[in-house]
Structure 1
Amino acid sequence: MPQSETGTDTAEPVTDHDAQAATDADTDGSSENGSVVPWTSITKPTDDTETLAAMTAASAAEPGADDMADASLPLDQVFAVLKNERRRRVLGMLKQTDDKLSLSDLAERIAALENDKPIEQLTSSERKCVYVGLYQCHLPKMDSMDVIEFNKSRGTVARAANTDAVYDYLETAAPGAEPDWYRYSTILSVGGAAALGTALLVDPMTPLPVIDGTVGCLVIVFVAYGLGAFVWTHRAD
């Protein structure tokens, strides 16, 4: 029996152009001999090892936080801080503790060092002299450079961003490394008085100018001592 035209769908023939378009949609290139190469075979997979190595190298090249802190304080400002003995003592006392220090405690300890006496024997004027100097001059200057953190309202002193950078140049002297000028002056005074007294006793018994010679020697010794103390103090400051 003849087939009905309405019961069967006639398929359209596929042309060469359509076949080529379908092939191009699924492919990304061809090999040299003309065979089709899938596009996935051309794409280079990501190398995680190389990526990680590149990120590590970039991180190593960036300056660390410590380096940035060191570079933030110029060298001339470091020496401007360290040239003063009171500022050096503030930094030395901060270095001995991880906590904050009170301004009154700092003033008492520094006053005791400057006057060579225990804290209990300090007078109110000696305490006030150091306290006012720290409060009005030294601590605000150090705070402006971020060398310390000075809280005026609470009267506390703590470390700041540039404290460690200054510590690299700070020479913390061992006990006894700084000359004890008060002790030396006392020894010279007592020794000079003893020498002069001896000369007065010996002078009547000898024709030599004992007193003149003794006085001349004492003058030379005291002048040399004074010049030495002056030079050392100014070099330290």
Structure 2
Amino acid sequence: MFDLLGNSRRRRVLRHLLDDRHITLTDLSARIAAWENDTPITDLTSRQRKQVYSSLYQTHIPRLSEHGLVEYDSEDRLVTLTADPERLRRFLEVESPERGRFSHQWSRYFLWTAVVGSAVIAGNWLGTAPTTHVTTESLYGLLTVAFMMLSISFVMAVEGPKLLRFGD
């Protein structure tokens, strides 16, 4: 599975099929070409479309079909997802919008820890912080421990569900 998903074009095919279980090879190749060229489908050149179509038709769809992930109907030129969608999502790690927002919240925690920690250390150097009786090295140690705890919390909050699912 990891070898199959080692190619970004095959991952993109499967992601599209998770949203649209049956799609023509022509439409699928146009969507992937648009993504790869960072352009709307309407602005694709025939060469861009043809390159992706040929690659999907000759290499990627047959490879995915051999491993039972998709089925290709050559008469209708229809690609159909045959793999278990939930299992496939785990491999592709498709994030929901809710999870993406969660990650942005953590960047604020890291930012404010750095800002407050730096302000306390700067205040200590200048002798203006109420922590002047604490050594700078101790403050660095506390800030390091705070970042370590924040990092562990981040990993468990964001990656914890995936780590727990690993045994499934």
Instruction: Compute the TM-score of the two structures, normalised by the length of structure 2.
Output: 0.53
Q: How does 1:31-42 map onto structure 2 within 5 Å? A: none
Answer yes or no: is the 8 Å Cα contact 1:145–1:162 preserved in 2: no
In the other structure, the counterpart of 2:114 is none
Deviation at 1:106, TM superposition (A): 0.5
TM-score, structure 1 as length reference: 0.38
SS at match of 1:172: coil
Query: Are positions 1:127 and 2:31 aligned together?
Result: no
Q: How many residues align?
A: 98
Report the Cα offset of residue 153 of structure 1: 2.3
Structure 1: how far apart are the matches of 2:95 and 2:86?
Answer: 17
How many angstroms does 1:140 deviate by?
0.3
1:132 deviation in Å? 0.2
Distance 2:87 2:74 in 1: 23
Matches of 2:83 and 2:53 in 1, distance apart?
Answer: 24
Q: 1 or 2, which has the higher helix percentage?
A: 2
- Per the TM alignment, residue 174 of structure 1 is displaced from its structure 2 partner at its CA by 6.6
Relative distance call for 1:142 and 1:162 in structure 2 (3 A) is: farther
Cα displacement (A) at 1:109: 0.5
Which residue of 2 is the match for residue 90 of structure 1?
13
Q: Which runs of 5+ in 2 are unaligned?
A: 101-168
> Rg larger in 1 or in 2?
1
Deviations 1:39-65 (A, max 9, x none): xxxxxxxxxxxxxxxxxxxxxxxxxxx
Instruction: Tell me how far apart the structure 2 counterparts of residues 114 and 174 of structure 1 sit (CA, whole Å).
Output: 22
Letter of the structure 2 residue corresponding to residue 152 of structure 1: S
Q: Distance in 1 between matches of 2:5 and 2:84?
A: 13
Percent same amino acid among aligned pairs?
Answer: 41
Deviation at 1:172, TM superposition (A): 2.1
Tell me the SS of whatever aligns to 2:94: coil
Task: Return the letter of the residue paired with 2:71.
Answer: E
Match of 2:3 among 70, 80, 105: 80
Counterpart selection for 1:143 from 65, 80, 84: 65
Cα RMSD (Å) of the superposition?
2.0
